[in-house]
Amino acid sequence: MAYSIIGQYVPTDSFMHRLDPRSKVISVFTLAIVLFLAGTFPTLLLMAGASIVLAAVSRIPAHYYVQSMKPIFVLISFFFLFHLVFTREGTEWFSIGAVGIYSGGAIKGSFVALRILTLLMFASFLTLTTKVVDLTDGLERLLSPLQRVKLPVHEMVLMMSIALRYIPILMQETDKLTRAQAARGADLKSGPILSRIKALYPLLLPLIVQSFRRADTMAQAMEARGYQMGGERTSLRELTWRTGDTLTICFTAIAAVGIILMR
């Protein structure tokens, strides 16, 4: 079974699971900004090491990370190979016709690949340790000042939470459809690229149809419960900001300033 790191909540008894969703959103957003400001390998390696430490602190089994990273490796490999082939800096290692491989390309490709991987790890802590409902409440509280300028904060957060909730469902349905097509003799993992693309057609159509059916069912359920756009709403659960949340924000701020100064 394929795991989706986005939208998948894994309940464990860890410090990160007990944090307020608002503190986790602020911390992850800060780390993401600092990650793109990190311009050297030592600072990037430091942040990558911090992501590994956070993964251990979250007490989430490692196979969730390993399995969910597989689709991302295609994107990471693309960026690495792009810089490896088109970046002509440093010492030339070897050349094949007009294509030359340089040390600068390997370094820059590795840097970009590690940055994407680390960013995904930081983002995963937010969804793996936070329920979608809690994440929605936290984002709505943080963005509530924007309601003064007539922005539909609740509707925006609701759409995002629905999208996060349905990502793992779509992944599971894709896995089921892939197994069903394989049982009927479809070969999706070998052969020429054009043949594999054609073999995806019977997979995409049922997936799109099921997605529209789920969307229609959800719309009918929301209408049956009296949901209206722009209505006044109250929250069933009140978020509680604790000392651990304050310490988390302070530690994140100190780490961010330290990493920026290391540049």
Predicted confidence (pLDDT) per residue in 150-203, tens digit: 777 877 888 877 877 777 777 778 778 778 777 777 666 666 666 666 667 777
Sequence spans of domains, the chain: 1-151+241-263, 153-229
What pLDDT sits at residue 172?
79
Overall average pLDDT of the 21-47 stretch: 88
CA 126 to chain centre: 9
Q: With cut-offs at 50, 70 and 90, classify the pLDDT of residue 260.
A: confident
Residue 226, amino acid: G
Joined together, the tokens standing for residue 130 give 């936070």
Residue 68 pLDDT exceeds 80? no
Q: How far apart are the C-alpha atoms of 156 and 139, rounded to whole Å?
A: 10
No. of H helices and E strands in the chain? 9, 2
Strand ranges (DSSP E) for 85-240?
92-96, 99-102
> SS3 for 261?
helix
102 contacts 89 by C-beta, under 8 angstroms: yes
What pLDDT sits at residue 247?
93
